[in-house]
Chains A and B, each alone.
Chain A
Amino acid sequence: MAETALTSTGESPARIAGWRGIAADWSSDQRAFKNVSWGKAMMWIFLLSDTFIFSCFLLSYMTARMSTTVPWPNPSEVFALEIAGHHIPLILIAIMTFVLISSSGTMAMAVNFGYRRDRAKTAALMLVTAAFGATFVGMQAFEWTKLIMEGVRPWGNPWGAAQFGSSFFMITGFHGTHVTIGVIFLIAIARKVWRGDFDVERRGFFTSRKGHYEIVEITGLYWHFVDLVWVFIFAFFYLW
């Protein structure tokens, strides 16, 4: 990696490959993950913790779905739309998934341009990513509205097990909250990129720390994680 901005001594340590390299890094002083900044390490560990949260949500949902004695509503029917006279199952979810996966692509491009210090393209691509995210949340709001109009409530629904509505609102709601936070985060960082905070190493208002373009990549880690979680929700909730 060329981006070892935080290795301030300029010494490029001779790295050993493979497991021996990992053992050497972990038995060295100062840092266990060489060339990983504090912020990036912290985001990875946070995502590990967050993975456990989503895993618990999904496992609880699966437990409820497998143990219920009442029939579970058929997701491909529930999440179908009538478009131009055609009855298309899961169409909205398919579009939402496509939008979110696309946003991962624009995010990856933003990270690339960030490290090239291309302010305009980085900020623009981050805003495009945020727009995709906002579109996703918007479509989710539409889906919620449609289901609520059809009588789905957290405590019951017209088609079967009450846990269908409760799990649906809880899991998609928690994921949607993650996306919304990500959109806000993206816009805030895009503003800083646009303003050139990371070129002049402007200090943070609360932290008085200098900012780096690396924050774009850290934001990206979070964003890709939220996308990945959606893939699991899509598979376990809608396709099962």
Chain B
Amino acid sequence: MVDVPYDAIARVPPAEVGDVDLYHPRSWWTKYVFSQDAKVIAIQYSITATAIGLVALVLSWLMRLQLGFPGTFSFIDANQYLQFITMHGMIMVIYLLTALFLGGFGNYLIPLMVGARDMVFPYVNMLSYWVYLLAVVVLASTFFVPGGPTGAGWTLYPPQAILSGTPGQDWGIILMLVSLILFIIGFTMGGLNYVVTVLQARTRGMTLMRLPLTVWGIFTATIMALLAFPALFVAAVMMLFDRILGTSFFMPSLVEMGQLMKYGGGSPILFQHLFWFFGHPEVYIVALPAFGIVSDLISTHARKNIFGYRMMVWAIVAIGALSFVVWAHHMYVSGMHPQFGFFFATTTLIIAIPTAIKVYNWVLTLWRGDIHLTVPMLFALGFIITFVNGGLTGLFLGNVVVDVPLSDTMFVVAHFHMVMGVAPIMVVLGAIYHWYPKVTGRMLHDGLGKFHFWVTFLGAYLIFFPMHYLGLLGVPRRYHDIGEVAFIPPSAHTLNAFITVVALTVGFAQMVFLFNLVWSLFKGKLSGGNPWRATTLEWQTPHTPPEHGNWGKELPVVYRWAYDYSVPGAEQDFIPQNQPRATRAVQGAAQ
């Protein structure tokens, strides 16, 4: 069955909106620093996110050193360990992955892929980055304030998050909440831009059902973020008041050090509901752009149209909608009416259906494709395997009775690192290898890339596979030192040491990747405009890297969907989206 006809409409309608006025930079500052060009903003977002992400990476090494060789490193005490896990989690989930997918890839790819000159409101878009930078600076500053960063865990559960027993109670928690509020404000400014650009600023001929799946993924994730971040915003404001003003939104009556505290009557569970109403969609805010991008990587590098395009789109939308009604599966052990547990387990398992549709369609896209094992393709394949793996352990954790004994063990750590840590990062890395030539005009070094992939991919499995086993043994998470416990065999300690060694090796591979990024910028092989021979609009720009305004004088006109690879009878094995139908008629005659 032909999924989408090549000639869905007979003619391309005339332009409805006049060409936009762009802000033309007048100085070096407005061109490279306070730039209103989405591409520059995208690079700024990406560099900032990567920089703070490196901090989180180093924190994970320190945590692994402590877990692998407890007692050896005197400079890591229990408080610092808690601070490390908190900052690692928060940075990786929000300040790295969310910012990189939406602020980085979203800004770069949306205008280019939909055929726009820029985002609809470039000035607001620029403000978005600067508020994000401020949020990152506030977050990083917590490493230097008295008491250090907060150690409440990335979920920041009250009441412990603001009690004096938790490290970072002085300044860490306050600045963390302020930073989150700033991040949400900054994200909202950018997110509104992405959504309106996709809905209202597409070029002629670009219907929603001709959008590359990358845009669909980022678009849906942005809408979800605009609806989910409000819950985190409200939770952060209320907890800030609990901490600073002494209100009791989340704080019940407590006795601390023998003293009755001034709090009373608040509901810690309320925070958990607000947090996870944000937190679960957040998983998919990170996953959906990855789904979209990986679809395009697979299709391009397997030289085959994506299998079931419409189903892929609807699966993205369905996952986005369903992810708003599953949040309490993070709270099975928090104390909840059993019927709610039943409800949330059911909705959680229903999400497996659209997700499975996507996985099958990726595999069917590969089936009998002309697979090129380029570095982006390797990462895309790595993603599919890792994601399926993480999804299967999700079935364990989504069911109440299986989840209860596994809660707060290393099994949970292994699960979410596989499914929303490693898997999206695989896509990020693959996407960087894929689009780096468009951003810089040069290819990344292939050999270093393949080295990077194999170490990262195999390493991720060696790190997280044994963790499932540790979790089944009952090894708890967030413990600085598990010590000598009867139910944990000595082999678990050996395994922990092994994981640490692998983690440091994988970390080293990322340094190779960073070197590759810098080295290729100057010495990489020149790529030309369309090195992967891809169909989507960003590869058809008149200049590489694209100039301000993207398209030169004339906006592109789109005549076909994004997946015309290996069309029978066509001259090349790809037909760009902006190639008119005239050539199709010729091909038809040839057939």
Residues of A within 8 A of B (CB): 6-9, 11, 13, 26-34, 36-39, 41-42, 45-46, 48-50, 52-53, 55-57, 60, 63-64, 67-70, 154-155, 161-163, 165-166, 170, 174, 203-204, 206-210
Contact = CB atoms under 8 A, between A and B. Distances in A.
With a 10 A CB-CB cut-off, give which of A30, A42, A63, A170 has the most chain B CB atoms.
Answer: A30
Contact of B249 (A26, A27, A64): A64
B13 A170 contact: no
A70 B17 contact: no
A56 B274 contact: yes
B56 interface: no
Contacts, number: 160
Interface in B1-56: 12-18, 21, 23-24, 36
Top-6 shortest CB links A-B:
A8-B18, A52-B230, A166-B247, A56-B234, A155-B246, A53-B230
Given A56-B230, A56-B274, A29 B249 contact: no
A49 B196 CA distance: 14
Nearest to B233: A53
B247 A207 contact: no
Given A30-B206, A32-B199, A38-B120, A63 B270 contact: yes
B199 A31 contact: yes
B385 interface: no
B192 to A, nearest CB: 5
Interface of B: 12-18, 21, 23-24, 36, 120-123, 188, 191-193, 195-196, 199-210, 226-227, 229-231, 233-235, 237-238, 241, 245-249, 262, 264-267, 270, 274, 277, 558
A191 to B, nearest CB: 19
Given A49-B227, A52-B231, A34 B16 contact: yes
Contacts of B208: 26-27, 32
Given A11-B14, A52-B226, 14 more contacts: A30-B204, A38-B120, A41-B199, A42-B196, A45-B195, A46-B192, A52-B230, A53-B234, A56-B233, A63-B267, A64-B266, A155-B247, A163-B248, A166-B248
Nearest to A63: B270
A4 to B, nearest CB: 9
A27 to B, nearest CB: 6
B231 A49 contact: no
Given A45-B226, A162-B264, A163-B249, A29 B233 contact: no
Contacts of B120: 38, 42
14 contacts: A6-B18, A9-B16, A27-B208, A30-B204, A32-B200, A57-B234, A64-B249, A154-B247, A155-B247, A162-B264, A162-B265, A166-B247, A206-B123, A209-B21
Nearest to B253: A69
Contacts of B248: 155, 162-163, 166
Contacts of B231: 52, 56
